[in-house]
Amino acid sequence: MLRNRIEMKRYLWLLLSLLSPAFSLAEGPLAIQNAKIITVSGQTFDKGTVLIRNGKIEAVGQDVDVPGEALIIEGEGKVVMPGIVDAHNAEGMSQANERNAVVPFLSVVDSIDPNASYFEECRRNGITSAAVVPGNSTLIGGKAAIVKTSGQYVNDMLIRADSALKLSLRPVSGSRMSQMAQLRKELQKAQDALQDEANKEEEEDKEEAKDEASEEEADEDQPAESSEDEDEESDSNGDKAEGPNAENEGLEVLKLALQGKMPVYIYCEYAMDIVAAKKLAEDFGLKSILVLGQDCYRAADLLAELKQTVILDPTLVFWDTNPRTREDKKVVLPEIYQQAGVPYIFQVSSANSRGSQGSSYFWYQAATAVKYGLSEKDALAALTLEPAKLLSVDSMVGSIEVGKDADLVVLTGDPLDISTWVEYTIIGGEIVYDRAEDEKLERLLSPVAE
């Protein structure tokens, strides 16, 4: 009955939108009524309403006036939470890493495939925003992008292109020493370039000060400088077979990172890498986002000093044997980081990595943290608002607040229960996933001999 109502309204909208091209589904108001609403940023309403208009959240709360023309999702017995934000994944594109290990000029935007099964899985599991980041098998892996998980073309999905740069401290080939040396060399180049620019500016400032009386001359400086730049670029074009401006473009990207204008993901495989990452960030003024390997828990105290949110390895619980004493230890990452006072968020393992069944789902990762002592409230924030803050997109997504993007998940029950499924995923006010129409899920759940 209720579903019929939605269906009918949808057809109506479809009809209307066909009649008038300016009138699209996203523009009609949508309301989810009588549901338990977990806003994450504020209170949880046991029986509340979310009103969505023009892709944004217009109102949320106990008493919300729903306009007559609104499409209504009856949420009795359902739970609404903000869409999940995946802060670090290398899926959704054809190849996680380039063979060449130093490629700061590359962007994942050129590689994102909106039809990748990853995005379909995202919608099925309530992930509405995702940072697509070059993989860990690199040195300087290129630029990440933050996207919504639904769209026909990559441009429809983009929240922010060139959102961050990816570095990895795990050696691609050769030793850790050479990995670090090469990384420092590349960053130093950018540092020197910035220094040169600063010196030049300083000189210009001095000259400017000298010639303060004649403003016309100072104006003439500007075009002269830019033409100089062009000359340099055409020079390197002649030298390099790699393509137009690859090196210069790369240098520009690194400069942004060094100026703190572009955050830098640093993948740390071992605890020892934390020391190196910390020093890199200090020496070069990087705004770092640390992506941790399993072993990094040994540096939990050092991480606590950094006072920044870290991204945990997908395997949250594992066993470790001391090779010398043969002492066995069960390592529970959420517990260790919580006790050390390190704020953390989760990653999921990719579908083909053959991790444990649960580690490929965000809700399961959160449930695991709750199992070992994290509060359910904090666990849900670690799926939504915390990653949004880490990616600096929390003004748009990450919680159910008036004015934010209408990225919501309607669940059949409490988010961390084993039997809970995503009923609807809504991105920008549009229903992009409806379980009733998910034929693939139905097939997986009811295998038929073919």
Partner 1 sequence: MNNWMIKTQPLKLLLTGLRLTLAITCMFHCGGPAAAQENISLVKANQLFTVDGEVLSPGQVLIEGGRIVALGESVEAPENATTIEVDTLMPGIINTAGDTGLSDNGAEVSREIVPDFQTLDAIDWLSRDFKEALDQGVTTVQILPSTESVFAGFACVVKTAGDDPVVTDRQGVLLAVCADPTSRNRSRSRPDSIYVRQPTNRMGVVWIVRRTLHRAQQPDADLPWTADTQEILHGILTGEHSVLCVSRTDFDIRSALKLGQDHGFQPTIYGGDEVYRMMDDFKASGARLVYTALTTNASASALRGSEGTELRWNVPGRLHSSGIPFCLAGPNLLDQARFATRFGLPRDEALKAITLYPAQTLAMEDQLGSITTGKQADLVALTGDPLEPTSRVLWTMVGGEIYGN
Give 182's contacts (C-beta < 8 A, 6+ positions apart): 101, 102, 139
Using the minimum distance from each CB to partner 1, give the nearer residue, 243 or 373: 373
Residue 182's closest CA among 103, 270, 242, 106?
Answer: 103
Using the minimum distance from each CB to partner 1, give the nearer residue, 5 or 440: 440
CA distance 300 to 92: 31
- Is residue 412 involved in binding partner 1 (CB under 8 A)? no
Size of site (CB under 8 A) for partner 1: 26
Residue 420 Cβ vs partner 1, minimum distance, rounded to whole Å = 9
CA distance 245 to 198: 22
Residue 382 Cβ vs partner 1, minimum distance, rounded to whole Å = 14
Q: Using the 8-state DSSP alphabet, how is residue 149 labeled?
A: S
Task: Out of 114, 151, 171, 358, point to the residue binding partner 1 (CB under 8 A).
Answer: 358
Using the minimum distance from each CB to partner 1, give the nearer residue, 92 or 334: 334
The torsion angles phi and psi of 433, rounded to 5 degrees, stand at -145, 130
Q: Using the 8-state DSSP alphabet, how is residue 126 labeled?
A: T
Residue 348 Cβ vs partner 1, minimum distance, rounded to whole Å = 13
Using the minimum distance from each CB to partner 1, give the nearer residue, 74 or 295: 295
- What is the number of other CB atoms lying within 10 angstroms of the CB of residue 264? 25
Check residue 389 and give left, alpha or beta (phi > 0: left; psi -120 to 50: alpha). alpha
Residues 302 to 331 in contact with partner 1, rule: CB under 8 A: 319, 321, 326, 328, 330
Using CB under 8 A, which of the segments 28-36, 39-47, 88-96, 360-368 binds partner 1?
A: 360-368
x/- mask, partner 1, residues 36-55, rule CB under 8 A, reads --------------------
Task: Out of 20, 94, 152, 446, point to the residue binding partner 1 (CB under 8 A).
Answer: 446
Q: How far is CA 250 from CA 180, 284, 292, in A?
A: 18, 16, 25
- Is residue 224 involved in binding partner 1 (CB under 8 A)? no
Task: Out of 17, 34, 356, 412, point to the residue binding partner 1 (CB under 8 A).
Answer: 356
Residue 431 Cβ vs partner 1, minimum distance, rounded to whole Å = 23
Cβ–Cβ < 8 Å for 37, 50: yes
Cβ–Cβ < 8 Å for 370, 415: no
CA distance 421 to 45: 20
CA distance 291 to 194: 27
Q: Are strands 71-74 and 30-38 parallel, antiparallel or unpaired?
A: parallel
Using the minimum distance from each CB to partner 1, give the nearer residue, 289 or 374: 374
Give 183's contacts (C-beta < 8 A, 6+ positions apart): 139, 140, 167, 169, 280
Task: Out of 118, 284, 344, 364, point to the residue binding partner 1 (CB under 8 A).
Answer: 364
Residue 109's closest CA among 140, 135, 134?
Answer: 134
Residue 378 Cβ vs partner 1, minimum distance, rounded to whole Å = 13
Residue 46 Cβ vs partner 1, minimum distance, rounded to whole Å = 20
- Is residue 354 involved in binding partner 1 (CB under 8 A)? yes
Task: Out of 367, 393, 406, 431, point to the residue binding partner 1 (CB under 8 A).
Answer: 367
CA distance 434 to 410: 10
Using CB under 8 A, which of the segments 136-144, 229-237, 385-393, 411-419 binds partner 1?
A: 411-419
Q: Are strands 79-82 and 408-411 parallel, antiparallel or unpaired?
A: antiparallel
Residue 298 Cβ vs partner 1, minimum distance, rounded to whole Å = 19
Using the minimum distance from each CB to partner 1, give the nearer residue, 115 or 446: 446
Q: Report the Cα 51 to chain-centroid distance in Å.
A: 26
Using CB under 8 A, which of the segments 170-178, 231-239, 273-281, 368-376 binds partner 1?
A: 368-376
Using CB under 8 A, which of the segments 46-54, 72-80, 416-424, 428-436 binds partner 1?
A: 416-424
Using CB under 8 A, which of the segments 76-84, 158-166, 237-245, 353-361 binds partner 1?
A: 353-361
Q: Are strands 288-292 and 264-268 parallel, antiparallel or unpaired?
A: parallel
Using CB under 8 A, which of the segments 95-103, 200-208, 396-404, 442-450 binds partner 1?
A: 442-450
Using the minimum distance from each CB to partner 1, give the nearer residue, 22 or 444: 444
Using the minimum distance from each CB to partner 1, give the nearer residue, 269 or 394: 269
Q: Using the 8-state DSSP alphabet, how is residue 190 labeled?
A: H
CA distance 399 to 409: 11
Q: DSSP per residue over 227-286, as a string? A: HHHHHHHHHHHHH-SS-TTHHHHHHHHHHHHHTTSS-EEEEE-SHHHHHHHHHHHHHHT-
Report the interface residues with partner 1, using CB under 8 A: 319, 321, 326, 328, 330, 353-358, 364, 367-368, 370-372, 416-419, 444-447, 449
